[in-house]
Amino acid sequence: MEKNIYAHIRNNPKFDELVTKRRRFALVLSAIVLVLFYGFIMQVAFFPEVIAMPIGSGKLTYGVMAGFSQFSFFLLLTWLYVRRANTEFDRLNEALIDDAVTGGQA
């Protein structure tokens, strides 16, 4: 029974749509996080003086701002992913399972 349903889901073009869309979104977001984070770590390792550079006229420096920006920006990406996955992707997913369950019984 379950195996039938899995085969049904696999053969549904909506499954490819869901998997492709979600994978692309997840990979792009992961790439952004990894590039920004390891880029920052590389800067710390190879150009420590850049990290200490002041930004603007106050006491704010590049490293502190970059760290704080990562906290905020990664949170924003997390929110974007959850919002899209919990609406668009989940709707697609439910339709897919409904199709397979009714199709599997018919």
Partner 1 sequence: MSIKSVITDSVKPLLGFSLLLLSPLALAADKPLNVPAISMFFIFVVMTLLITVWAARRTRTTSDFYTAGGGITGFQNGLAIAGDYMSAATLLGFTAMIYMSGIDAYIYMVAFFAGWPIILFLMAERLRNLGKFTFVDITSYRLNQRKIRTMAAISSLIVVCFYLVAQMVGAGQLIRLLFGLEYTLALFIVGGLMIIYVTFGGMVATTWVQIIKACLLLFGGTCVMLLAFSQFDFSYDKLISEASAVHSLGTRLVHPGSLLADPVTAISMGLGLMFGTAGLPHILMRFFTVSNAKEARKSVLYASVFIAYFFNVIAIMGVAAIVIVGQNSSFFEGGELGAALLGGSNMVAMHLAQAVGGNMLLGFLSAVAFATILAVVAGLALAGATAIAHDLYAEVYKRGDVTEAQELRVTKIATACLGVVAILLGMAFEHMNVAFMAALAFGVAASANFPVLILSMYWRNLTTRGAMAGGYGGLLSSVTMVVLSKSVWVDVFGFAEAIFPYTQPALFSMPVAFGLAYVVSMRDQSAAAERERAAFADQYVRGQTGYGAATA
The footprint of partner 1 (CB under 8 A) covers 2-3, 5-6, 9-10, 15, 18-19, 22, 26-27, 29-30, 33-34, 37-38, 40-42, 44-46, 48-49, 51-52, 58-61, 63-64, 67-68, 70-72, 74-75, 77-79, 81-82, 85-86, 90, 93, 96-97, 100
Residue among 13 and 58 whose Cβ is closer to partner 1: 58
CB 33 within 8 A of CB 80: no
Inter-residue long-range contacts of 81-86, CB under 8 Å, 24+ positions, other chains counted: 81/25, 81/26, 81/29, 84/25, 85/22, 85/25
